[in-house]
Structure 1
Amino acid sequence: MRPFIFLLLILGAQIGRAQDSLQTNIPVHDPVIIRQDGVYYVFATGRGISMWSSKDMQNWKKEKPVFNAPPEWAVKAVPGFKGHIWAPDISYYNGMYYLYYSISTFGKNRSSIGVATNKTLNPASADYRWTDHGQVIESVPGRDEWNAIDPNLIVDEQKRPWLAFGSFWNGIKLVKLDADARSVAQPQTWFTLASVPRTRPGGDSTAGSGAIEAPFIFKKFDYFYLFASYDYCCRGAKSTYKMRIGRSKSLTGPYVDRSGVPMMQGGGTLLLEGNDEWHGVGHNAVCTFDGVDYLVFHGYNAKDNGRSKLRVEQLDWKDDWPVLRLH
């Protein structure tokens, strides 16, 4: 009996370790989500870009980071960058997975957006290999009154790729990309989609400096919906992050809120803000699985000392405007 009991103990320990490898309420910041072959993948801010996988969007397994070491071009491009990569964006485009990511340091607009591609998101596949294509766009202090972080790929009605991005300074930008979605199209075509009036110069994280960032554009019905995050993230219990929306029948705008106020003039209909349970909520993505729309974002959990956690909520629609079905 003793060998049998010993075997049971070993099997129990192995099962326990397997269960421990799956987590709920995972700690992420700036999440995006996509599904391949029945498996959901979350990419988020982190050293080398954090990656998680799940079969049910409830129990998550930590995968290896996208990058084993900081991209050489990024270290050279942004002084002070140490490999902590922000705000990835994942899309399936032209038969490949495109992962855009942000290189910066806090409160500065010496920033760059890079892109990497992969044939598959399954780390167990023989084809799993991230190819980094380097910098797509950059912002330079003293030259640009915008910040090249928080990318989001969107494809227009003619199947042409565009990149929305921006944080603080003079707001959310949109630029047309080449057909391969790895560089800015020539001649360059730029738009400003949304901004917050500033009461003081500069675009850093101080009060009155135009706190808007993290654009995500989602096509639904006859409209493009622009989701953006307002006010302040990354402050734990003092975070005031919230999500606002506007819409336009043209990808390039103008975007207006439900009251008709342009997002270029500080408009934006409130979708969700913090409360006693979540100090702040924001930096969202929108995805559709099996005909159901979801809002994916992070919140600062009041029950866990303001730690940033993943939230996934169903997104319904009323009068052609999004409404959250909170659980």
Structure 2
Amino acid sequence: MKFFKHIQNPFFFLALLTTCFSFAQKRPVTHDPVVAKQGDVYYLFCTGPGITSFTSKDLKTWTQADPVFAKAPDWALTVAPGFNGHIWAPDISFHNGIYYLYYSVSAFGKNTSAIGLVTNATLNPTDSNYKWTDQGIVIQSVPNRDLWNAIDPNLIFDEKGTPRLAFGSFWTGLKMVKLNPDLKKIAQPEEWTTIARRDRKGDLEDSEAGNAAIEGPFIFKKGDYYYQFNSWDYCCRGEKSTYKLMVGRSKSVTGPYVDKKGLELAKGGGSLVIEGNKNWYGVGHNSVFTFDGKDYTFMHGYDASDKALPKLIVKEVTWVDGWPTVKPMD
């Protein structure tokens, strides 16, 4: 989520995100969506107060549900002074009978950030075992120590079952780090990889994100390849949003990931998957999941008829010559 430094009025944007939409809707107000399916219900989680959530039976009509957190974690204010309860860019996985929901706490345009983890045995709020339990901080970035930003997490397992967390926004790009088997902390000795980056101005203070506009990694395994999706340019600016979705692939989860031309994503490469048009602005920050034998990507964008609010976009992914393809925005 996000580099809000260039938003003229970020607090107006945040106020919009707090609006309650409890009725069924085709395109709910959504930012940075991820989805899991339990039984016959799809559960969507996205940026918002306490982690906003929605449910659906058909991936078409969505109803808002209770947030994950009734109140933000107590540690959030110590990480990000000025934190206002909006939790960014969740990531959902089901592993060994438990749902793992990673999330981001940060301040606008700064790397005073941390990725936390909350777990649950079920996503069904009517189940007696339903309870979100916060596991605390997994990774934290600190200005003047780290030239990376601990937001936008995504959990991925390699072919041996080793867990790694991809994450990052602006600064020196997107990172991947090996986790402990319990998925709660960085493994020792530490194993770090830069999986994607764009050029960053060299004369910036460590606390400034700069113009290296890349964020939101999501790794999806298909066949022999791991596909890294990420978003270039700027979100959160209504009709001025320039977000676009890019991709590269690798036979190793840690890379190097390369685009269709063979250029490494860690050296500025990336092949376009989808971007906005005259009807939709700033399409990006996606996730990819397989449901009932079909691959889907979930992302957000700004409908030209309602420029102020990011909306959910769901598209089926097809594969052409080993590369993900989606239909352009209508």
TM-score, with normalisation over the residues of structure 1? Answer: 0.91
For residues 236-287 of structure 1, what are the alpha-carbon distances to aligned partners after superposition, in whole Å with 9 as ceiling and x for unaligned? 1110000100000111110100000111111100011111011110100000
Q: Which amino acid aligns with 2:188?
A: Q
Gaps of at least 5 residues in structure 1 are 1-19
Q: 2:234 aligns with which of 210, 226, 232?
A: 232
Aligned partner of 1:114 in structure 2 is: 116
Checking the alignment, whether the CA contact within 8 Å between 1:23 and 1:61 is kept in structure 2 is yes
Given that 1:203 and 1:209 are in contact with CA atoms closer than 8 Å, whether structure 2 keeps it comes out as no
Match of 1:133 in 2: 135
Shift of 1:208: 5.8
Letter in 1 for 2:286: N
Q: What is the match of residue 217 of structure 2?
A: 215
Query: Following TM superposition, by how much is the alpha carbon of 1:204 offset from its aligned partner in structure 2, in angstroms?
Result: 9.5
Instruction: Report what 2:76 is aligned to.
Output: 74
The aligned counterpart of 2:305 is 303
For residue 6 of structure 2, what is the aligned residue in structure 1? none
Once residues 131 and 26 of structure 2 are traced to their aligned partners in structure 1, the CA distance between those partners, rounded to angstroms, is: 27
Q: Is the 8 A contact 1:147 1:168 kept in 2?
A: yes
Bigger relative contact order (CA 8 A; separation at least 6): 2
> Of the two, which has the highest radius of gyration?
1
Distance in 2, matches of 1:236 and 1:200, equals 29
- Would you say the 8 A contact 1:98–1:116 is kept in 2? yes
Q: Which amino acid aligns with 2:316?
A: Q
Shift of 1:207: 9.5
Offset of residue 305 of structure 1? 2.1
Q: 1:87 to 1:203 in 2, by over 3 A?
A: farther
- % identical aligned pairs: 57
Contact 1:169 1:203 (C-alpha < 8 Å) held by counterparts: no
Alignment of 1:238-253 (within 5 A): 238-253=240-255
Aligned to 1:104: 106
TM-score, normalising length from structure 2? 0.90
Partners of 2:44 and 2:130 lie apart in 1 by 16
Per the alignment, residue 148 of structure 2 pairs with: 146
Partner Cα separation in structure 1 for residue 44 and residue 205 of structure 2: 29
Give 2:134's aligned amino acid: D
Per the alignment, do residues 162 and 276 of structure 1 end up closer, same or farther by CA in structure 2, a change over 3 Å counting?
Answer: same
Q: Which has the larger share of helix?
A: 1
Kept after mapping to 2: 8 A contact 1:170/1:203: no
Aligned AA for 1:91? S
Contact 1:48 1:68 in 2 (8 A): yes
Deviations 1:124-172 (A, max 9, x none): 1111100000000000000000000000000111111110000000000
User: Is the 2:109–2:209 contact (alpha carbons within 8 Å) kept by the matching residues of 1?
Assistant: no
Give me the CA root mean square deviation: 1.8
What are the superposed Cα offsets for residues 3-51 of structure 1, whole Å, 9 maximum, x if unpaired?
xxxxxxxxxxxxxxxxx72111100000001100010010000000001
Describe the shift of the 1:256–1:131 C-alpha distance in structure 2 as closer, same or farther (beyond 3 A): same
**SS at the partner of 1:75?**
helix
1:187 matches 2:189: yes
Match of 1:123 among 122, 125, 136: 125
Any unmatched runs of 5+ in structure 2? 1-21
Match of 2:293 among 291, 316, 319: 291
**Residue matched to 1:60:** 62
SS of 2:114's equivalent in the other structure is: strand
| Conserved? CA contact 2:238–2:307, under 8 Å | yes
Q: Is the 8 A contact 1:233 1:280 kept in 2?
A: yes
Aligned length, in residue pairs = 309
Check conservation: 2:144, 2:206, Cα contact below 8 A. no
CA distance 1:60–1:300, shift in 2 (3 Å): same
Mapped contact 1:198–1:209 kept (Cα < 8 A): yes
**The 10-residue stretch of structure 1 (302-311 or 136-145) with the greater mean CA deviation from structure 2:** 302-311
- CA displacement 1:161-219 (0-9 Å, x = unmatched): 11000000000000000001011001111000000012354499999620000000000
CA deviation after TM superposition for structure 1 residue 82, in Å:
1.7
The 3 A distance-change label for structure 1 pair 202 and 27 is farther
**SS of residue paired to 1:304:** coil
1:303 match: secondary structure: coil
Change beyond 3 A, Cα 1:276–1:207:
farther
The secondary structure found in structure 1 opposite 2:239 is: helix
Residue 44 (1) aligns with residue 46 (2): yes
Query: Do structure 1's residue 319 and structure 2's residue 327 form an aligned pair?
Result: no
Q: Tell me by how many angstroms 1:78 deviates.
A: 1.6
**SS of equivalent to 1:264:** helix
Distance 1:206 1:300 in 2: 27
